[in-house]
């Protein structure tokens, strides 16, 4: 359907040199000048009295940027600008919109090495993880462009009836920090291609990347009144956008807790959600150890376990429990936690000091809910949280039941595969599960009985590929439609039925 | 002129096919003690499915009760072929492992090189020399990689035991005496992915350094025991690291290493470029290099980074293009060809003739168990055949065993049965290349 982009081949010296060059350049620029992030409305920067410091997750106390937080006044002005711009933008030709988004995709490709460096510096993703995210963002744009060709304008049902897709209006895009580039790219692309005006409010932990992203859209030709940027807190700006009547659609990606709160507040407004969950991985007695262990390492510790699709809980068949766990710990103990933009780092820092302090205190707190059997050594120079593995976990405890976004793994053993499925189904979340098995019977059983939106078989829960692994959650990890599908894209339009007498 | 030569060999290729299948049809296939299982899974798809299911769970059956339970679930109808009592070792400390050895032992020697002499003596395959394939099993951590290095070194030390065993059937034909690979030289395949569990393309230099350090230790042992080493990779995407390690380790000035070997697959789109680099390296260092050309069907799909030919015909056609290129450079390259396609092998033989090469200028490489009857035929026709024995253990054996059984139970794969002359003509047709050339 569309040409997927390939990750960079870093076995080529030229690619490595370019990336190292981008890292060196970025490091210098952070040292040389003070970087500021401002609200951008109608193409104008707005200074704010409310400034927060954005520190490097990799090096404590190294200031990366000053974030000028938007106020309610900014937000109000922003909604007025967006509402006005929508009136003209909705009438732009589809070809013009396609051209703009094609340009965005081109610019991301052209700036790929700089973007990998920026993402790694600011979010703490390792370089390979950052490359994968940039890849996904290009794929999102290409995919939605290909979808648009199929789903644009009107669809004739019969000679008397047709469905017409119409833009909705002003879309508030509120996104999380776990995939701070690719997620908003997907959300904003869907909105703009559908003809909507967009107000983008990233997580305060992802504003640096957010500003870069918005500038890419501007450079590509997106009218500056059509896309605004509001760095601000959820309590102030998030709530304002949710309740403001000039905003017609809320597109939210983030925690299940916040997502459900937004849902309660909304009455006559459309909401698109992409919510996180507490995810599980089951290893049965027929599992290939190598596949299972590699999948667990990527599922649990990629981006320090902060991704919505990370797994927190591991369920192992009792027959292989001891042997498997000891092999897992052996492999985990080879992982190196450290500065995310250094080659050889497997696990980077967590996003900010608040999360860092909270997780460090949780390790002690959780030790009463399960026995710590492994805790990694980490440097103290950055926000590096140790990898912690717990066993004999109390299945009623917070350790087992909460989604806390950390490189922690809670482990339990089960007598058989069906019991493992029951444990997963007891969770209030239902985003995804992964199972490691060579048994067709167990695969079928899991597919028929697991109450999750996504089931990954013998692969990492973080191996998402646009248009292949279209995410959708159940229960408290609800999603409005599968991310990266035609259905998801269509949520950004109103579907009007036009019927006439012949 | 060159093109005409190639055109002229088409008829000879067909002649070779006819000759080969005549010999094949006149000989009863010898598959050793595994023949009953092969016969069963070749002729009965339902049985094949059940045998494979049983093998895939075998490594996890921890007790005799479980073994018996799964045996009756899958193999109750076929117990005369695979009996539970033979598989079960009730008083052994490790019944699973014993069961494995019993089953897998029908196909290849397992665990370590000490068992090879015993295994080869009971076998009826005729070959010129041996290769030991040290397949890395489940390399998950650095501890596993260190253990793999130790296993390779231990295997090298064991080589002298069976080399000196006069009862072994390693051929001592005159052909071999002046053979480029050296008289009776045993080869050992080392997989660099096993040498380091954390290969990382971005951490290229560090990966190369660690692998090189470990490979050097192995080479030191190999030099002492007069063993040739061929290096390979699990994933062809690590080929740049492989090449760098190869250059760094085998061409150290203080190392008097006779025949550095490297394995490349014809499904890799950049294989031609890799061979070009190797030829340049060989000329620069004035050192002959052995290139083992294989066909790898494991990676059927291109991944994010991997550019592969995925259609069989493209892979076959590329195999011939690369074979020709390697033979054209046989003054600096020692060519080793590994595939099961008679058309491709016939091309190699006849192109070598047009180049004026003799039978000692190249060799054929066959994995034990896949097509032992091929090895016998090529041997009887006077070609240098190297038999490759996998050395593996435990869980990984399951996969290997299924892979081998699957290949040999597919008539399509070995394409050895039911051929009359018209079908042989069809089989020996030149494969058409549809893929991109300049990648």
Spatial separation of the C-alpha atoms in residues A354 and B393, rounded to whole Å: 49
Q: How far apart are CA B104 and CA B392, in angstroms?
A: 10
Tell me what percent of the residues of chain A surpass a pLDDT of 90: 72
Report the relative pairing of strands B129-134 and A474-475 from DSSP bridges: unpaired
The ipTM value here is 0.87
* Residues of chain A with C-beta less than 8 angstroms from the C-beta of B305: 6-9
Using CA atoms, how far apart are residues B234 and B306, in angstroms rounded to an integer? 13
Q: How far apart are CA B123 and CA A333, in angstroms?
A: 44
Q: What is the pLDDT of residue B182?
A: 58
Give the mean pLDDT of A227-239. 96
- Considering only the beta carbons, identify the residue of B198, B206, B241 that sits closest to A11: B241
- Is residue B104 within 8 A of residue B54, CB to CB? The reply is no
B240-257: pLDDT as tens digits: 888 889 989 988 867 777
**pLDDT the model gives residue B359:** 85
| pLDDT tops 50 at residue A457 | yes
B419 or B115, higher pLDDT: B115
Put simply, whether A10 touches B (Cβ < 8 Å) is yes
Q: Out of A49-53, A392-396, A436-440, which region has the weakest mean confidence (pLDDT)? A: A436-440
Candidates A12, A319, A334; nearest CB to B198 = A334
Domain range A13-276+480-499, CATH class = alpha beta
Q: Do B201 and A11 touch (CB under 8 A)?
A: yes
Residue spans in chain A of domains classed CATH 3.40.309.10:
279-469
* Portion 123-152 of A in contact with B at CB < 8 A: 127-128, 135
Q: Which residues from chain B sit within 8 angstroms of residue A112, using beta carbons? A: none
Phi and psi at residue A143, to the nearest 5°: -65, -50
Task: Report CA-CA distances (Å) from B96 to A75, B57, B64, B91, B137.
Answer: 68, 10, 9, 11, 17
Q: Please say if the pLDDT value at position A453 is more than 80.
A: yes
CB contact under 8 Å between A344 and B203, yes or no, is yes
For B328-354, write each residue's pLDDT tens digit.
999 999 999 998 788 899 999 999 999
- Number of A to B CB contacts under 8 A, please give it: 68
* Residue among A127, A286, A327 minimizing CB distance to B140: A327
Segments of chain A assigned to CATH 3.40.605.10: 13-276+480-499
A398-407, A447-456, A485-494, B161-170: least confidently modelled range: B161-170
Pick the more confident residue, A258 or B123: A258
Mean pLDDT of B42-69: 72
Q: Supply the pLDDT for residue B178.
A: 56
Q: Which of these ranges, A364-378, A434-448, B114-128, B313-327, has the smallest mean pLDDT?
A: B114-128
Cβ–Cβ < 8 Å for B370, B403: no
Q: Does B142 touch chain A (CB under 8 A)?
A: yes
- B403 within 8 A of B297, measured Cβ to Cβ: no
Topology of domain A279-469, CATH = Aldehyde Dehydrogenase; Chain A, domain 2 (3.40.309)
Minimal C-alpha gap between B61 and chain A (Å):
9
pLDDT in tens, B122-160: 666 778 888 888 888 778 999 999 999 998 999 888 887
- Among A81-85, A470-474, B44-48, name the one with the lowest average pLDDT: A470-474
Q: Are A46 and A74 in contact (CB under 8 A)?
A: yes
d(CA A407, CA B145): 25
Cβ-Cβ contacts under 8 Å, B239 against chain A: 11
- pLDDT, averaged across chain B: 76
**pLDDT given for residue B48 in this prediction:** 78
Q: Which residues pair with A274 in a beta bridge?
A: A253, A479
Q: Which of B54, B61, B140 best probes binding to A when mutated, by most A CB atoms within 10 angstroms?
A: B140
Q: What is the pLDDT of residues A29-44, one digit of tens each?
A: 887 778 999 999 999 9
* Beta carbons of A273 and A263 less than 8 angstroms apart: yes
Note the pLDDT tens digit of each residue in B196-225: 999 988 999 999 999 999 999 999 999 888
Is a pLDDT exceeding 80 seen at residue B369?
no
pLDDT given for residue B280 in this prediction: 93
Give the pLDDT band (50/70/90) at residue A237: very high
* Winning range, highest mean pLDDT, from A260-274, B144-158, B236-250, B294-308: B144-158
Catalogue all structural domains in chain B, each as residue range(s) with its CATH number: 2-30+109-391 (3.20.20.220)
User: pLDDT tens digit string along A291-300?
Assistant: 999 999 999 9
Record the pTM: 0.85
- The nearest alpha carbon in chain B to A16 belongs to B202
Q: Which of B139, B202, B238 sits opposite A128 (nearest CB)?
A: B202
Cα distance between residue B196 and residue A30, in whole Å: 36
Taking the CA atoms of B409, B414, B417 and B419 in sequence, report the sign of the dihedral they define.
positive
Tell me the percentage of chain A whose pLDDT exceeds 70: 95
Which of B197, B204, B395 has its CB closest to that of A11?
B204
Least confident segment among A271-275, B48-52, B344-348: B48-52
| Listed range (A426-435, B46-55, B94-103, B350-359) with the worst mean pLDDT | B94-103
Q: Show the DSSP H helices in B88-137 as ranges.
A: 95-104, 116-121
């Amino acid at each position: 359907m569309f040409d997927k982009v390939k990750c960079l081949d870093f076995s080529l010296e030229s690619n490595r040199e370019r990336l190292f060059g981008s890292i060196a350049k970025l490091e210098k620029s952070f040292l040389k000048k003070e970087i500021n992030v401002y609200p951008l409305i109608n193409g104008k920067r707005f200074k704010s009295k409310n400034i927060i410091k954005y520190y490097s997750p990799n090096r404590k106390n190294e200031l990366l940027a000053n974030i000028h937080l938007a106020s309610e006044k900014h937000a109000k002005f922003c909604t007025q600008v967006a509402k006005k711009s929508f009136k003209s933008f909705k009438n732009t030709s589809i070809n013009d919109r396609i051209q703009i988004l094609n340009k965005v995709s081109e610019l991301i490709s052209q700036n790929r090495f700089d973007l990998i460096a920026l993402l790694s510096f600011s979010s703490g993703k390792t370089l390979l993880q950052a490359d994968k995210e940039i890849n996904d963002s290009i794929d999102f744009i290409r995919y939605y462009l290909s979808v648009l060709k199929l789903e644009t304008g009107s669809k004739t049902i019969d000679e008397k009836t047709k469905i017409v897709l119409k833009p909705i209006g002003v879309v508030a895009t509120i996104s999380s920090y776990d995939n701070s580039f690719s997620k908003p790219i997907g959300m904003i692309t869907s909105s703009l291609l559908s003809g909507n005006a967009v107000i983008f409010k990233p997580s305060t932990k992802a504003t640096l990347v957010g500003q870069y992203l918005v500038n890419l859209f501007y450079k590509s030709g997106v009218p500056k009144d059509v896309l605004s940027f509001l760095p601000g807190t959820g309590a102030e700006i998030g709530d304002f956008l949710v309740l403001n009547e000039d905003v017609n659609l809320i597109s939210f990606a983030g925690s299940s807790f916040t997502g459900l709160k937004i849902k309660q507040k909304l009455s006559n407004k459309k909401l698109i959600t992409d919510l996180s969950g507490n995810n599980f991985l089951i290893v049965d007695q027929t599992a290939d150890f190598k596949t299972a262990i590699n999948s667990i390492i990527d599922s649990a510790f990629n981006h320090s376990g902060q991704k919505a699709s990370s797994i927190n809980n591991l369920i192992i068949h009792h027959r292989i429990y001891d042997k498997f766990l000891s092999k897992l710990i052996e492999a985990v103990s080879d992982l190196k936690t450290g500065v995310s933009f250094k080659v050889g780092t497997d696990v980077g820092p967590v996003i900010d000091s608040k999360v860092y302090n909270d997780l460090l205190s949780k390790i002690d707190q959780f030790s009463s809910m399960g026995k710590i059997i492994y805790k990694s050594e980490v440097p103290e120079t950055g926000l590096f949280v140790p990898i912690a593995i717990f066993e004999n976990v109390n299945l009623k405890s917070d350790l087992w039941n909460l989604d806390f976004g950390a490189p922690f793994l809670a482990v339990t053993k089960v007598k058989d595969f069906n019991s493992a499925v029951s444990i997963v189904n007891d969770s209030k979340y239902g985003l995804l599960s992964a199972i490691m098995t060579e048994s067709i019977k167990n695969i079928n059983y899991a597919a028929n009985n697991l109450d999750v939106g996504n089931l990954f078989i013998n692969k990492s829960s973080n191996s998402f590929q646009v248009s292949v692994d279209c995410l959708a959650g159940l229960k408290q990890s609800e999603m409005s439609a599968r991310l990266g599908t035609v259905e998801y894209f269509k949520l950004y339009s109103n579907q009007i039925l036009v019927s006439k007498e012949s | 002129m060159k093109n005409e030569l190639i055109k002229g060999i088409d008829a000879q290729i067909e002649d070779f096919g006819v000759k080969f299948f005549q010999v094949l049809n006149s000989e009863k296939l010898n598959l050793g003690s595994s023949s009953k299982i092969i016969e069963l899974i070749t002729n009965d798809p339902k049985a094949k499915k059940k045998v494979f299911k049983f093998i895939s769970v075998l490594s996890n059956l921890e007790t005799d009760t479980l073994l018996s339970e799964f045996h009756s679930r899958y193999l109750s109808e076929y117990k005369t072929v695979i009996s539970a009592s033979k598989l079960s070792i009730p008083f052994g400390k490790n019944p699973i492992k014993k069961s494995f050895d019993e089953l897998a032992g029908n196909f290849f020697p397992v665990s370590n090189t000490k068992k090879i002499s015993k295994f080869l003596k009971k076998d009826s395959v005729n070959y010129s020399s041996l290769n030991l394939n040290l397949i890395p099993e489940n390399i998950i951590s650095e501890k596993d990689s260190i253990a793999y290095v130790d296993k390779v070194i231990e295997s090298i030390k064991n080589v002298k035991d069976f080399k000196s065993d006069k009862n072994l059937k390693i051929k001592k034909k005159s052909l071999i005496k002046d053979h480029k690979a050296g008289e009776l030289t045993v080869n050992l395949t080392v997989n660099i992915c096993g040498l380091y569990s954390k290969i990382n393309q971005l951490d290229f230099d560090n990966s190369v350094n660690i692998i090189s350090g470990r490979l050097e230790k192995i080479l030191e042992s190999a030099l002492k025991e007069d063993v040739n080493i061929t290096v390979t990779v699990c994933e062809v995407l690590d080929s740049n690291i492989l090449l760098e390690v190869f250059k760094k380790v085998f061409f150290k000035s203080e190392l008097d290493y006779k025949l550095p070997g490297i394995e490349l697959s014809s499904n890799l789109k950049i294989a031609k470029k890799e061979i070009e680099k190797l030829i340049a390296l060989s000329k620069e260092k004035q050192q002959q290099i052995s290139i083992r050309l294989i066909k790898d069907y494991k990676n059927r799909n291109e991944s994010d980074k991997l550019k592969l030919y995925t259609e069989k015909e493209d892979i076959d056609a590329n195999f011939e293009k690369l074979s020709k290129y390697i033979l054209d450079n046989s003054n600096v390259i020692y060519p080793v060809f590994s595939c099961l396609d008679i058309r491709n092998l016939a091309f190699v033989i006849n192109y070598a003739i047009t180049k004026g090469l003799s039978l000692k200028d190249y060799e054929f490489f066959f994995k034990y168990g896949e097509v032992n009857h091929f090895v016998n035929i090529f041997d009887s026709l006077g070609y240098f055949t190297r038999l490759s024995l996998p050395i593996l253990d435990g869980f990984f054996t399951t996969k290997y065993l299924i892979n081998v059984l699957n290949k040999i139970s597919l008539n399509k794969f070995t394409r050895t049965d039911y051929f009359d002359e018209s079908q042989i003509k069809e089989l020996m047709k030149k494969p058409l290349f549809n893929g991109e050339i300049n990648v």
